[in-house]
Structure 1
Amino acid sequence: MGIRVGTHQHRRQIVTVVETARASGERGSDFAKLSRRVAQAGLLDKRPGYYTARIGLVAGLFAGSWALFAAVGDSWWQVLVAVLLAVAFAQVTLLAHDLAHGQICRSRRTSRIAGLLVGNLAIGLGYGWWMDKHTRHHANPNHEDHDPDVSPEVLLWSDNQAGAARGLSRFIGRWQAFLFFPLLTLEALNLKVASFRGLRRESLKNRKAEGLLLVAHNVAYLGGVFLVLSPGKALVFLAVHLACYGIYLGCTFAPNHKGMPVLTAEDELDYLRRQVLTSRNVRGGHLINTALGGLNYQIEHHLFPSMPSANLRRAQPIVREYCESIGVDYAECGLVASWTQAMRHLHEVGRPLRVGRV
């Protein structure tokens, strides 16, 4: 069961949902009822044992990948190590995501310190900058005016954005569905650059510490690569590692919202509907759950961001049954199908640009 793809269909469905919610007179109470059920099931409680084991495994993968890099030495076999290290970086990123949401530590200060070490120092991504960006995404998911993840800087996500597109985004927008995965090879580099750019914001907390840790990471990362590898091999290693890292992140986050309704200022939805109707779950077993860090349960995560990722699977039947009982569509499909829906949406948005209608 899922929301139909296509911007016009999305608009009709959102209007219907808003009208139904207004008629019920209970828009503000729906989430409260669900939240009580979830809390009574103990699913908002911390999971220290789970995170101790997960952190240990991810730390082992991360350290082991670098140890293997040192052991292999100046060899073209390092291309395979670069792929393994991309997986390790992505898994560390998913842990940083859980830290930012307060899923691991009760103390905000502890979470922030751990986030700086894991994000800035270990993988070179600005924790404070990303946390601010991700918080705004959660507050207004898939909202073309307020969600930074659907800003039309390169890709276009709605008819309105296509109509207003200029320059590079207009050029890419024509064939953005075909360019999406190639562009993901640049995503890791883009995030690293954006992390440094974020340091210019005076509102960013701990700017000095964030900057020093980012510099320390890049000095150690680039220094280690060029110390062990010849210049040619080092450049290939960096290209493969960053490309695979970017693709991994994109394939983790894209299934969650891309191809789902893009909201505008006209859409007055309550919290529950705003989160559920713009999110999509990805079916799969333990492999998918591990690879996506629990984000395959995106609906549950958006409704309860601080819920430990290990509890999302247990929350799913409660949330799905509740959504069905109040007539709210609950989108769920396989991983490949989620990518397909996202690509179809991108292709449909770019259609007016291809035929010269805007």
Structure 2
Amino acid sequence: MTKAAPEVLRATAPQPGAGGSDFAQLSRRIAAEGLLDRRPGYYTVRAGLVLAAFLGGFYALFALGDTWWQLGLAAAMSAVFAQVGLLSHDLAHRQVFSRRLPSEIGGRIAANLMMGMSYGWWMNKHTRHHANPNHEERDPDVAPDLVVWSQRQARQASGLARFIGRRQAYLFFPLLLLEGLNLSFNSFRALRGPAVKRPLLEGALLVVHFAAYFGLVLAALPLGKAVAFLAVHQALLGVYLGCAFAPNHKGMLMVTPEMRLDFLRRQVLTSRNVRGNAVLDSVMGGLNYQVEHHLFPSMPTPALGRAARITREFCAEKGIPYYETGLLRSYREILTHLHRTGEPIRSGG
């Protein structure tokens, strides 16, 4: 098993003359194993279970009635909504369907109608991330909004980003409590921009989602408990999604404009895999195999584990650092990275 610490990865440069040939070799190995083939049975079962949990949650909302135990249901429903989001992620990458139209229809049903997030906005953002992961200027996931992801960004930070940057390692997980609201806000805001190709359709689906969402909760619970339910649900949804996506790249190699990396090394060196088991694979929706997901975005989730073994072996042959660690260790590395990147702000730089 090839493993290297993030500090080693930061110092790694592409091998001269690597070009695209290394990725072509790896692709042939992956294709020969049939790992890019669609898995309709898997996705039928997965989508059925997610839908059953989604509908069952709202049934339980009325079955439980006027009780504070509803907050436990709110926590459980945050996990269900996150699973809907992970399924929409697979649809966007055409892991479920090979054709664009059914992927978009499924994606909008899952993201807009069931979860309350704009499929078009998120897909535009996520596509740009995949093209340039951890690139300081091109990856929207490391844009210096409230959190700074590099010391260069920290030196340029101002306003709220500079205030938060001083103590961002301590504030990172608390800020995730607001991520659910942030997704909803950005989804509606994006309807006025070019990222969403069908703004009327997506806007209508979002309105239907939130009308049904708020309406059902308010119909089942008195106002105080309804507000508490919504707060717990949205807060834990943000934490779940943040904890699933953050280990993928945060604290790994940050790419600057002057760096020249071929596709294979750009994806491998900026990504972190998280070791786990069948339970963790399900909880994270396969995102714990982030290296393989970035190399082969359309690969179905159940094929990623086998692809990881092949990719590790290939990277070892080529001398390419391939990093994987445990889940808790990944969070420690993220917080260490955030504390380090905030140093120029704390020192007045």
Q: Which amino acid aligns with 2:125?
A: K
The answer to whether the Cα contact below 8 Å between 1:323 and 1:330 also exists between their aligned partners in 2 is: yes
The answer to whether the Cα contact below 8 Å between 1:158 and 1:349 also exists between their aligned partners in 2 is: yes
1:104-253 alignment to 2 at 5 Å? Answer: 104-202=96-194, 204-253=196-245
What are structure 2's unaligned runs of at least 5 residues? none
Instruction: Find the aligned partners of 2:61 and 2:220 in 1 and give their Cα distance.
Output: 9
CA RMSD of aligned residues (A): 1.1
* Residue 266 (structure 2) pairs with residue 274 (structure 1): yes
Q: Which amino acid aligns with 1:117?
A: I
Corresponding residue for residue 305 of structure 2: 313
The answer to whether the Cα contact below 8 Å between 1:5 and 1:344 also exists between their aligned partners in 2 is: no
The answer to whether the Cα contact below 8 Å between 1:289 and 1:295 also exists between their aligned partners in 2 is: yes
For normalisation by structure 2, the TM-score amounts to: 0.98
The answer to whether the Cα contact below 8 Å between 2:165 and 2:345 also exists between their aligned partners in 1 is: yes
* Residue 56 (structure 2) pairs with residue 64 (structure 1): yes
Among 19, 23, 47, the alignment partner of 1:31 is 23
Aligned length, in residue pairs: 348
Q: Which amino acid aligns with 1:281?
A: N
The answer to whether the Cα contact below 8 Å between 1:87 and 1:248 also exists between their aligned partners in 2 is: yes
Could you tell me how far 1:10 is from its partner in structure 2? Answer: 5.5
Instruction: Find the aligned partners of 2:3 and 2:248 in 1 and give their Cα distance.
Output: 12
Q: Deviations over 1:228-255 (max 9, x none)?
A: 1111111111110001100000000001
The answer to whether the Cα contact below 8 Å between 2:22 and 2:264 also exists between their aligned partners in 1 is: yes
Instruction: Find the aligned partners of 1:355 and 1:2 in 2 and give their Cα distance.
Output: 33
Could you tell me how far 1:355 is from its partner in structure 2? Answer: 2.2
Could you tell me how far 1:207 is from its partner in structure 2? Answer: 1.1
Q: In structure 1, the residue corresponding to 2:191 is in which secondary structure?
A: helix
Instruction: Find the aligned partners of 2:75 and 2:170 in 1 and give their Cα distance.
Output: 23
Corresponding residue for residue 297 of structure 1: 289
Instruction: Find the aligned partners of 2:5 and 2:255 in 1 and give their Cα distance.
Output: 14
Q: 1:189 to 1:204 in 2, by over 3 A?
A: same
The answer to whether the Cα contact below 8 Å between 1:3 and 1:277 also exists between their aligned partners in 2 is: no
The answer to whether the Cα contact below 8 Å between 1:82 and 1:241 also exists between their aligned partners in 2 is: yes
Q: Which amino acid aligns with 2:250?
A: K
Could you tell me how far 1:65 is from its partner in structure 2? Answer: 1.1
Q: 1:236 to 1:167 in 2, by over 3 A?
A: same
Could you tell me how far 1:57 is from its partner in structure 2? Answer: 1.1
1:33-48 alignment to 2 at 5 Å? Answer: 33-48=25-40
Q: 1:10 to 1:354 in 2, by over 3 A?
A: farther
Instruction: Find the aligned partners of 2:109 and 2:53 in 1 and give their Cα distance.
Output: 17
Q: Deviations over 1:26-73 (max 9, x none)?
A: 322010010011001100000001111111111111111111111111
Instruction: Find the aligned partners of 1:4 and 1:230 in 2 and give their Cα distance.
Output: 52
Q: Which amino acid aligns with 1:212?
A: A
Q: Which amino acid aligns with 1:267?
A: M
Q: In structure 2, the residue corresponding to 1:62 is in which secondary structure?
A: helix
Corresponding residue for residue 84 of structure 1: 76
Q: Which amino acid aligns with 2:264?
A: L
Q: Deviations over 1:84-136 (max 9, x none)?
A: 10010001100000000000012210110111111100010000000000000
Instruction: Find the aligned partners of 1:4 and 1:202 in 2 and give their Cα distance.
Output: 40
The answer to whether the Cα contact below 8 Å between 1:184 and 1:247 also exists between their aligned partners in 2 is: yes
